Structure 1
Amino acid sequence: MSFQIKEQTKTYDICIVGSGAGGGMAAHVLSEAGFKIALMEAGPHFDPANPEQRTQLRWPWESPRRGAGTSRPFGDFDMAYGGWEIDGEPYTKEDGTEFDWFRSRMLGGRTNHWGRISLRFGPLDFKRKDFDGKGDNWPIGYEDVQPYYDKVDKMIGVFGTKENIPNEPDGYFLPPPKPRLHELYIKKGAEKIGVPMIPSRLSILTKRVNNKRGACFFCSQCSRSCSVYGDFSSSSVLVNPAMETGNVDLYVNAMVRKVLTDEEGKATGVSYVNKEDLQEYTVKARVVIMAASACSSARILLNSKSEAHPNGLANSSDVVGKYLHDSTGASRMGLIPDLLDRKRYNEDGVGGMHLYTPWWLNDSKNLGFSRGYHIEYWGGMGMPAYGFGFNMENINGQLPGKNGEKKKAGGYGLDFKNDIRRFYGATFGMAGRGESIPRKENFCEIDPNVVDKYGIPVLKFNYKWSDEERKQAQHMHDTFEEVIHSMGGIALGQRPGADTDYGLENPGRIIHEVGTTRMGDDPKTSVVNRFNQAHDVPNLFVVDGGPFVSQADKNPTWTILALAWRASDYLKEEMKKMNI
């Protein structure tokens, strides 16, 4: 496919590729400093308050299939334009690889539908190699990032409680919501066996932090993105204020092909395909910031070859795309017999768990694996749907019916309705989310034989779990069953074994992939320095999850936000000093 490239005469101070957590934060900080910014987004404009885009508080029968099913990964009303498969935008896999790549094509990216689990990395998380001898330490420590975590807490808002747990740093918290009934049952059982449960830390406003955002009204639909901006989405909380400065030009449906460079190898802007007219355009800028997501940024850099950068931009180390890693994930369902036939009342709460379990075994070195996991919980009386919480195949033959007989799967009419009434609110689930050890042999690269519908070469993934992750998943299931037994519950379904890697989700399924443009002090073994600045290209920065040296057992978003703010402050000062 060939295009006639259309050059623009305007030159921006900064071009930011991607409008998610990292790109949104960079746009917010740098626009307020007065810099003229081009913000590139591969999907359409999005505002959850727009009546034509709002899905919050819509009934299932308002969906295209009247709630009977969905063609979208998380349901028709989940606010993610995209998924693991996008028409015309393939990716490939090496034989034996089962990596699933989620892409969200919309203003704000994945932050419109994520779980809002907003955890700080702890001191140990930045220096894990010192503890277990595996992987690499970050070149920075918690003390370098803490001031920015503090700023993010105060500006965006996160609820929680101060717990004084060494590697689970406390922050500036809003009041947490009260636990739901099923969470109190789980907590009672978990604490019997030494598994802690504490209030969650979610970026959802239980009270207002400014006059432009409303407080949560507990509809439990955060995955639909909040029409009163009561939860954190980059589009609502970062991009909108950045646009109000008058310093940001937003380019939507702009599929960036590559970063442009001059003869000296410095970045001069980007080339992109307009998805509406399929023409190629350029945007000129003094500085380019990559924030397209870890794998998308790596793809763009690897496709940005030139005489000065024959191995791809910022890739003299041959590390771009390497050390790709995602969180581990395994889960189990259970049932609380005491909650069968329970009384109905409004138990919605926030769109996520009210309690969670942080990793509690940091001092243990004899577990058979090196890195930990946290546990997330769900359950209660949310919107009922057959097949989600009422899967009779899961509970076939395990549960008592009204007359004491063992319940079989299936049922129609009145029998089916009675099942729903009996089991509604009594089922729950728990999911482990753990840290994998980054390995150079897990990577993404450009497939030389495949392009997408815009003519851009696609990524090819090479990824395998190791015994570290398998043993961790096995431990997750040990914990799940102990907690369920201790609380007097019934474990549903069959426990996965070694033949299924103990129920490990495919890499990429947890949507926490990081590490493809890793941070380090040595240009020979890393892509960016401790301020997210490319070693090879001083006017190129990467502020998504790519620079992560290791993931921790925490969700990455809060750290992406903190590092993006830190990198933006550094860039701001360097530009004022005329160093860039």
Structure 2
Amino acid sequence: MRGSRISKKSYDVIVVGTGAGGGMAMKTLCEAGLNVVALNSGRRLDPVKDFGNHRQRYELKYRGFMDPKDRPKRYVCETEITQPLWEHEITYTVAPGSRWVWARCHAVGGKANFWGRSSARFGEIDFKAASLDGCDVDWPVTYEEIAPYYSRVERMIGVASTVQNRPSNPDGDYLPPIKFRCLDYILQKGAEKIGVPYLPDRCAQLTVAHNGHPACHYCGGCTNGCDTGSFFSPTWFTIPAAEKTGKLELRTNAHVKDVLVDENERAKGVAYIDRNTKQEVEVYAKAVVLAASCCETAKIMLNSKSRHWPDGIANSSGQVGRNLSDHLYGTPAYGYLPQLLGQPSRPDNVHESTVTWMPRWQNLTNPREEKFIRGYSVYGGGGCDNFPYYHDQLEGFGSQFKRNIKRYYPTPIGFLIQAPSLPSKTNYLDLDPDVKDVYGIPVARFHFQWGSNEMLMWEHCKQVCADLVKAAGGEVWGAGDDPFPPGQSLHETGPCRFGNDPKSFVTDRFSQCHDVPNLYVCDASIFPFATDKTSTISIMAFTLRTSEYLIEKFRRGDV
């Protein structure tokens, strides 16, 4: 029952979520002297117990493939080691005719404990895309305005890359790049022949010691968490910095139910369910920052109903939950490089990151040069891995098959497309009227299908990647029949997007809710649509800007 336990202390700010956005908000607000309480839906991590710590697949009970009974519900980002840290208790539904996979990490630090670390900046070509091609809306900021915040984040976390001078991906402040592998030099030559870029990725992985964190020692365990803090994660970076101030209280196993409002319909606090005691708890503050992750934040707002907000808090525009966008992921081509047959094994994947990328090269000078608008990027990789996933491409059995496996071990290559979906009125999330979670809270229901623009990108990319393999002297084994399911990229955006018109947007250019001035959103839900880049470093840059805006309001007594 509501109000069964009320927190006696009132805080300056409540931050819901402890991932990329929540962690940055906590750090920035606490370092400014504000008293912050952070709510996280799961438990605190212990890197010694919860991360991989150099365990190899052959040391695990199920050889890294997880318990067979858990495999049907496994998210692609889960591993046998991290499986207990991913959310399976709090359910969601998918509307008939739709597809969506909603992977959530409930541990403190969230998905940013295990992310892919690609960290390219958004650019003016993204912010003004609508002015260029006439589709949807421009962002309410300029690149010149946000660039200094990107630089500050890059200097804080350390991003390895090179200066590339490309209009689709602005350059930043970089550490030395991760070195190319033999296969990368071969593929780069092929890319040059067909006129597409093949460059070092922007990777938030430390190639040198940085800000008190050691350089990566290339153990290859990144997907299971870094035991040395050699790539950015809230567990190693922002949360310890916030706790060092003495201004942070971190409450774990706190499943947020809704945002509480006062008699003036301003945010006064948050109600959550203590997952250990099953008791509802209310906590109060002068301002609330929602950084629960893109879709979770929208779900919380939709569930925050009151007399004044019958459709959810700060939702006079009717746009909370709408405009859901995502990255179309898939395998546009895979094959092998005969030049590397029989070569010695190399540690090609000990960094376990995207060493290279093919940044957007489409529609740069003419917004409608291709059959689709805007553009996509591609990640390339391959070589020696910890499991020979190419085994089904080879025939034979017994000792001959084993020799072939070893002979082909350095040769496999593959590509991953990252294509942004355009916002659509048919792609959104709402509350399922018939389904509640185990705590009695209505669950999110997803309505989503890939659109024609992103499917044209998919077909275009399959041809380009096949051409690249052939130009590099390789042979194509095949391509994915279809893209991966929507949601699998973990890069969803849009359901609380920012803009200047309160009638059309949920939040303003500083991520402050138009309707509720002391309610802020600090995750990817504010971004109007996906770009060809990942979103984590942009979440951090925009959160830094929003947090300092909120700090200034506290300084002026305007909260």
TM-score range, shorter chain: over 0.9
Q: Offset at 1:79?
A: 4.3
Same amino acid, percent of matched pairs: 37
Matched, 1:536 2:511: no
In the alignment, which residue of structure 1 is the partner of 2:103?
Answer: 102
In the alignment, which residue of structure 2 is the partner of 1:478?
Answer: 463
Correspondence 1:2-13 to 2 at 5 A: 5-13=4-12
Matched, 1:207 2:208: yes
Take 2:492 and 2:247, find their aligned partners in 1: how far apart are those partners? Answer: 31
Please state whether the residue corresponding to 2:430 is helix, strand or coil.
strand
Matched, 1:545 2:524: yes
* Matched letter for residue 31 of structure 2: E
Q: What does the per-residue CA deviation read over 1:401-446, in whole Å, with 9 as the maximum and x for residues that have no partner?
A: xxxxxx52x63x4234223212212111101101221123210001
Matched, 1:125 2:122: no
In the alignment, which residue of structure 2 is the partner of 1:398?
Answer: none
Q: 1:518 aligns with which of 494, 497, 519?
A: 497
In the alignment, which residue of structure 1 is the partner of 2:353?
Answer: 352
CA contact (8 A) 1:63 1:76 kept: no
In the alignment, which residue of structure 1 is the partner of 2:433?
Answer: 448
- The verdict on how the C-alpha distance between 1:540 and 1:225 changes in structure 2, with shifts beyond 3 A counting, is same
Please state whether the residue corresponding to 2:296 is helix, strand or coil.
helix
In the alignment, which residue of structure 2 is the partner of 1:255?
Answer: 255
Pick which of 116-125 and 219-228 moved more. 219-228
CA contact (8 A) 2:39 2:250 kept: yes
Take 1:523 and 1:234, find their aligned partners in 2: how far apart are those partners? Answer: 33
- The verdict on how the C-alpha distance between 1:107 and 1:168 changes in structure 2, with shifts beyond 3 A counting, is same
- The verdict on how the C-alpha distance between 1:521 and 1:222 changes in structure 2, with shifts beyond 3 A counting, is same
Q: What does the per-residue CA deviation read over 1:173-192, in whole Å, with 9 as the maximum and x for residues that have no partner?
A: 00012101111111111111
Take 1:424 and 1:529, find their aligned partners in 2: how far apart are those partners? Answer: 52
Q: Offset at 1:210?
A: 1.5
CA contact (8 A) 1:27 1:242 kept: yes
In the alignment, which residue of structure 2 is the partner of 1:527?
Answer: 506
Please state whether the residue corresponding to 2:465 is helix, strand or coil.
helix
Please state whether the residue corresponding to 2:533 is helix, strand or coil.
coil
In the alignment, which residue of structure 1 is the partner of 2:42?
Answer: 43
In the alignment, which residue of structure 2 is the partner of 1:500?
Answer: none
CA contact (8 A) 1:5 1:280 kept: yes
Matched, 1:579 2:558: yes
Take 2:16 and 2:391, find their aligned partners in 1: how far apart are those partners? Answer: 42
Q: Offset at 1:129?
A: 0.4
In the alignment, which residue of structure 2 is the partner of 1:264?
Answer: 264
Please state whether the residue corresponding to 1:546 is helix, strand or coil.
helix
- The verdict on how the C-alpha distance between 1:148 and 1:574 changes in structure 2, with shifts beyond 3 A counting, is same
Q: What does the per-residue CA deviation read over 1:367-415, in whole Å, with 9 as the maximum and x for residues that have no partner?
A: 11102111101212232x24xx2231xx2xxxxxxxxxxx52x63x423
Please state whether the residue corresponding to 2:235 is helix, strand or coil.
helix
Correspondence 1:358-377 to 2 at 5 A: 358-361=359-362, 362-364=364-366, 365-377=368-380
* Matched letter for residue 96 of structure 2: D
Matched, 1:195 2:196: yes
In the alignment, which residue of structure 1 is the partner of 2:171?
Answer: 170
Pick which of 159-168 and 127-136 moved more. 159-168
CA contact (8 A) 1:256 1:272 kept: yes
Correspondence 1:297-308 to 2 at 5 A: 297-308=297-308
- The verdict on how the C-alpha distance between 1:52 and 1:330 changes in structure 2, with shifts beyond 3 A counting, is closer
* Matched letter for residue 15 of structure 1: I
In the alignment, which residue of structure 2 is the partner of 1:399?
Answer: none
Take 2:325 and 2:465, find their aligned partners in 1: how far apart are those partners? Answer: 24
CA contact (8 A) 1:341 1:422 kept: yes
TM superposition score normalised by structure 1: 0.92
In the alignment, which residue of structure 1 is the partner of 2:320?
Answer: 320
Take 2:417 and 2:127, find their aligned partners in 1: how far apart are those partners? Answer: 21
RMSD of aligned residue pairs (Cα, Å): 1.6
Take 1:284 and 1:4, find their aligned partners in 2: how far apart are those partners? Answer: 12
Please state whether the residue corresponding to 1:16 is helix, strand or coil.
strand
Take 1:293 and 1:145, find their aligned partners in 2: how far apart are those partners? Answer: 21
In the alignment, which residue of structure 2 is the partner of 1:289?
Answer: 289
Q: Offset at 1:507?
A: 1.4
TM superposition score normalised by structure 2: 0.95
* Matched letter for residue 330 of structure 1: G
Q: Offset at 1:363?
A: 2.0
In the alignment, which residue of structure 2 is the partner of 1:382?
Answer: 385
Q: Offset at 1:76?
A: 3.1
* Matched letter for residue 366 of structure 1: E
In the alignment, which residue of structure 1 is the partner of 2:241?
Answer: 241
Matched, 1:76 2:61: no
* Matched letter for residue 199 of structure 2: I
Q: Offset at 1:351?
A: 2.1
CA contact (8 A) 2:42 2:252 kept: yes
Take 1:167 and 1:67, find their aligned partners in 2: how far apart are those partners? Answer: 37
Unaligned runs of 5+ in 1: 396-406, 497-502
Take 1:168 and 1:223, find their aligned partners in 2: how far apart are those partners? Answer: 25
Unaligned runs of 5+ in 2: none
Please state whether the residue corresponding to 1:22 is helix, strand or coil.
helix
Q: Offset at 1:54?
A: 2.6
Q: Offset at 1:208?
A: 1.7
Take 2:122 and 2:263, find their aligned partners in 1: how far apart are those partners? Answer: 40
Take 1:80 and 1:285, find their aligned partners in 2: how far apart are those partners? Answer: 34
* Matched letter for residue 32 of structure 1: E
In the alignment, which residue of structure 2 is the partner of 1:564?
Answer: 543
Matched, 1:435 2:420: yes
Matched, 1:52 2:49: yes
Pick which of 65-74 and 473-482 moved more. 65-74
